[in-house]
A and B are shown apart, each in its own frame.
Chain A
Amino acid sequence: MAEGKDHNNILDEVTSGEYKYGFYTDIEMDTAPKGLTEDTIRFISAKKNEPEWMLEFRLKAFKYWLTIAEPNWAHLHHPPIDYQDIIYYAAPKKKPSLSSLDEVDPELLDTFNKLGISLEEQKVLAGVAVDAVIDSVSVKTTFTETLSKKGIIFCSFSEAVREHPELVKKHMGSVVPYRDNYFAALNSAVFSDGSFCYIPKGVRCPVELSTYFRINAANTGQFERTLIVADEGSYVSYLEGCTAPQRDENQLHAAIVEIVAEHNAEVKYSTVQNWYPGDKEGKGGIYNFVTKRGLCRGNHSKISWTQVETGSAITWKYPSCVLKGDNSIGEFYSVAVTNNYQQADTGSKMIHLGKNTKSTIISKGISAGHSNNSYRGMVRVAKKATNSRNFSQCDSLLLGDKCGAHTFPYITTGNESSIVEHEATTSKISEDQLFYCQQRGIDSEKAISLIVNGYAKEVLNKLPMEFAVEAQKLLAITLEGSVG
């Protein structure tokens, strides 16, 4: 019956209107001056008491970034971004080093409560260890002790740089090098903080690790960096969720997520992205340029991405898997919803390098209002990746006649023993389905929410339970008022 109950909650949410996560937390900030120079990078590094090698890495990335141009191939249109008009570092002034929740700034706790994701509640009810990131610096890590008994390291990126430099040095940039792309170079130069996670050999992480990101200070770019390393035979499920307060000015977000899976390791990474999408006229909203990539380094390793994208004015994001180990598996499940003037260019890349590698891409795009929603995906099977297999399905659903749905798959196969299949459909909600629901007394808005959730079910089912509930709510809220 859980399903029916969740659904009712969604319907309640639908009627509640405005973007509900639009509040602002008043916390004193310690900020860098606007703009980006070598000095800014030295400032960030110094603020964080970083070792010399970290500063060098940042500076190398910065120098490279200066030499390259912003990519323009995506099906996205936005005014040029003034990179000198952005504050690259903002941190709560009270440097926290806390051992219990009681020590957390009560205002922050209140923020989480408003979001409905209070640490307390999560800790007790869901058994989830939360590494909460407000703006740029990690504020609180819970369950560290429980996890550390198993040898699991789950901490802020800054802490990892200090406490586990050998692990960071070994893996940082190994999956997403700073030269990878424009936004990866930018992130590598100025990243503020993020999460680090290491699962030792043979350990199955007993809880779902999660981070909540929020952009809080006005005019502050958010540059997260996450590194997850799953050693041989380990398993971890990682959740990332975002809700951002309402802002009029566009804000830039350029994150990096790197995942390394060694022999027989498995990593499940789930995201619900709900950054502020801008208002109904397309004013404001987050620019979200993210590089997410997993490396199946070992044989029989597996990396699985699941994402529900409902927010951001602009989304540029292609969670990818490099299947290097033989028999490794990559998966990508995505629901991307755009409404009003949102633009999304998102999809996945599956690079098959090892033998007998398998990948699956299931992408469900939903466009409404004046939005444009593009799937862009690449499947590449290298010559040596014999007997590899890919299946991609990319469906688009259109609501209204002012929006666009596009599909841009790039498929290359270089050997004869592999099989690659791509299927895609574009359709609207059929009038027959709508009428059927209406004839049963369900009004058109509820009917659409019902049908859309059904359409996206294949992907939503891949999310952990509590995330699936949130994701369903978001779908309904995002599509509010899209028919009529």
Chain B
Amino acid sequence: MLLDIKNLHVSINGKEILKAFNLTVNKGEVHAIMGPNGTGKSTLAAAITGREGYEITQGEIWFNGELINDMSPDERANKGIFLSFQYPVEIPGVSMTNFMRTALNAKREFNNQPPVSASDFLKKMEEMKNLVEIHSKLTNRSVNEGFSGGEKKKNEIFQMAMLEPTMAILDETDSGLDIDALKVVAKGVNALRADDNGFVVITHYQRLLDFIVPDFVHVMYDGSIVKSGGKELALELEANGYEWIKEAVAEK
């Protein structure tokens, strides 16, 4: 079991967003989480990655057999949790190269490995850039600064490829992408899918799931999963919208 979330309750400023949320992700699985706006999808991503301000009032998050509720964000990251941000932040003056090297070496240090050599690092950079079709020289560009929306998302997948996480959460990675960019992002993700890692794909649209085919689809509403199924559930949602889910919940 890679990720196991049990009865999770999360509040922001005293307001409960996630309510008795449960989810289990095993190695090799891709889970899609769908649902209307404001149901707590991004809160879930924030809670798993340990963002400040998201208070776990109840419940447990287990990762690789460890309870991670109280771990710092960097500790979780170094243990292999990666978040592809919905809105990647700009960090002026910090070059992508420097940033990536610092992150990679932080992880290596965490695993008691020596720092990566310059040539190996450069080689890997080139390889992963090609994977997500980034053509610009990242050396002299600051993190996300001046990147277009599509570039930012590609850059997230590029970083994922560099850091090789065991658990990747893609938070609306598809929003704001044209179909070509979407294909590139999906190609990157698919290339990284393996038997020993898992993915949680948070999305609004079924479109992405044509390219990243999930093993499971969950529908989230008002802070918890209200329906789970196979990839066909996504098609059903696409055809019928979320209204029937809301009605079903209301009837209960």
Question: Which positions in A face B, CB cutoff 8 Å?
Answer: 1, 3-5, 7-8, 11, 430-433, 435-444, 446-447, 450-451, 453-458
Contacts and interface: CB of A to CB of B under 8 A. Distances in A.
B12 to A, nearest CB: 13
A431 B77 CA distance: 17
Interface in B137-194: 139, 142-143, 159, 163
Contact of A430 (B89, B103, B107, B143): B89
12 contacts: A4-B121, A8-B115, A436-B85, A436-B89, A437-B74, A438-B73, A439-B74, A440-B106, A446-B106, A451-B91, A454-B91, A454-B93
A443 B97 CA distance: 18
A440 B190 CA distance: 21
Nearest to B77: A441
Interface centre among B102, B118, B122 (most CB of A within 10 A): B102
Nearest to A5: B118
Contacts of B52: 431, 435
Interface in B80-119: 82-83, 85, 88-89, 91-95, 97-99, 101-103, 105-107, 110, 115, 118
Given A433-B89, A441-B78, A441-B106, A454 B94 contact: yes
Contacts of A8: 101, 105, 115
A437 B122 CA distance: 20
A453 to B, nearest CB: 7
Contacts of A455: 92-93
A403 to B, nearest CB: 21
B159 A440 contact: yes
Contacts of B139: 3
Contacts of A4: 97-98, 101, 118, 121
Contacts of B92: 454-455, 457
B102 A435 contact: no
A49 to B, nearest CB: 51
A441 B103 contact: yes
A438 B78 CA distance: 9
Contacts of A432: 89
Contacts of A5: 118
A436 B139 CA distance: 19
B171 to A, nearest CB: 11
B51 interface: yes
Interface centre among A437, A444, A447, A455 (most CB of B within 10 A): A437
Contacts of A443: 72, 74, 106
A453 B93 contact: yes
Contacts of B106: 440-443, 446
Given A454-B91, A455-B92, A7 B77 contact: no
B49 interface: yes
Interface of B: 49-53, 72-74, 77-78, 82-83, 85, 88-89, 91-95, 97-99, 101-103, 105-107, 110, 115, 118, 121-122, 139, 142-143, 159, 163
B159 to A, nearest CB: 7
Contacts of A433: 89, 91
**Interface majority SS (helix, strand, loop, mixed), chain A:** helix
Nearest to B90: A433
A302 to B, nearest CB: 25
A440 B103 contact: yes
A223 to B, nearest CB: 37
Contact of A441 (B94, B95, B97, B110): B110
Contact of A442 (B93, B102, B142): B102
B6 to A, nearest CB: 23
Contacts of B142: 454
A457 B94 CA distance: 8
A240 B72 CA distance: 42
A441 B107 contact: yes
A438 B93 contact: no
A442 B74 contact: yes
A286 to B, nearest CB: 29
Contacts of A3: 95, 97-98, 139
Given A8-B101, A441-B107, A453-B94, 16 more contacts: A3-B95, A436-B85, A436-B88, A436-B89, A436-B143, A437-B103, A439-B74, A439-B83, A440-B77, A441-B74, A441-B106, A441-B110, A443-B72, A444-B74, A450-B94, A457-B92
B55 to A, nearest CB: 15
A450 B51 contact: no
B245 to A, nearest CB: 30
A430 B101 CA distance: 22
A220 to B, nearest CB: 39
A3 B93 CA distance: 12
A439 B98 contact: no
Interface centre among A433, A440, A446, A454 (most CB of B within 10 A): A440
Nearest to A452: B93
Contact of B98 (A7, A431, A440, A458): A7
Nearest to A440: B103
A436 B91 contact: yes
Contact of B73 (A435, A450, A454): A435
Contacts of B85: 436, 439
B146 to A, nearest CB: 14
A441 to B, nearest CB: 4
A439 B102 contact: no
Contact of A1 (B110, B115, B118): B118
A455 B94 CA distance: 8
Nearest first, the 5 A-B pairs at minimum CB distance are: A454-B93, A454-B94, A438-B73, A457-B93, A441-B77
Nearest to B87: A432
Contact of B99 (A430, A431, A440, A444): A440
B82 A439 contact: yes
Contacts of A438: 50, 72-74, 77
B202 to A, nearest CB: 15
A108 B110 CA distance: 41
A441 B163 contact: yes
A432 B122 CA distance: 28
Contacts of B122: 1
